Amino acid sequence: MRALVVYETIWGNTGALAEAAADGLRGSAGVDRVDVVAATEAPAAIDSEIDLVVVGGPTHAFSMSTASSRSNARQQGATDIPARGIREWIAELAPPSSAVAVATFDTRTVHPRLPGSAAKKAMKALVSKGFRPADSPKTFGVHGYSGPIADGELERAREWGATLTDA
């Protein structure tokens, strides 16, 4: 089995959680290869040898980030703003040649607890392109917009990644 993990990160938290989920996948029986790439570098089409795609991004304004919300992050002190997030990558992504399994996750602040989910919106967009859900969308908590990642969330991401091969 081969997996591709695509993520968008601004403060580094979502990227660290993507790596943790990938580590969980790598530790699963039957997984031959797991590639992790930022949305800015993600392919325009999913290779036919990929069995599972995992997509993660921060929740901005109740959904996936936009160019405007990423610009707002710069005003909050972020310095590494991606030119393309998961929203744009999914919009440009070619439909898969078969129903490739997909799992999504997002990061959201623990406090204040805000509504909305980038993971749910990403899953909906990917399913409409022909992907098959491998699991329900997951949320991982961070403290404030810039982090750090909430206690226990990296381990929970590893554990979640390890379960994705069951689907």
pLDDT tens for each residue of 99-119: 999 999 999 998 877 788 999
pLDDT in tens, 133-157: 999 999 999 998 889 999 999 999 9
Region for 41 from its dihedrals, namely left if φ exceeds 0, alpha if ψ lies in -120 to 50, beta otherwise: alpha
Nearest residue to 6 via CA among 118, 143, 115, 113: 118
Q: Calculate the CA dihedral of residues 93, 96, 102, 106 and round it to 10 degrees.
A: 0
Give the pLDDT score at 167. 65
Could you tell me the pTM of the whole model?
0.95
Q: Calculate the CA dihedral of residues 154, 160, 165, 167 and round it to 10 degrees.
A: -160
The count of C-alpha atoms lying within 13 angstroms of the C-alpha of 88, restricted to the half-sphere facing its C-beta, is 15
Q: Which residue in the block uniquely carries the two structure tokens 């797991």?
A: 34
Determine the Cα–Cα distance for residues 111 and 132; give it in Å rounded to an integer. Answer: 32
The count of C-alpha atoms lying within 13 angstroms of the C-alpha of 86, restricted to the half-sphere facing its C-beta, is 35
pLDDT in tens, 12-40: 999 999 999 999 999 998 899 999 999 99
| Cis ω before 95 (30° cut-off from 0) | no
State the average pLDDT over residues 121-129: 98
Check if the beta carbon of residue 133 is closer than 8 Å to that of residue 127: yes
Query: Which amino acid is residue 5, in one-letter code?
Result: V
| pLDDT band, very low/low/confident/very high, at 160 (cuts 50, 70, 90) | very high
State the average pLDDT over residues 47-52: 96
Output the average pLDDT for the chain: 94
Check if the beta carbon of residue 158 is closer than 8 Å to that of residue 23: yes
Residue count of the chain: 167
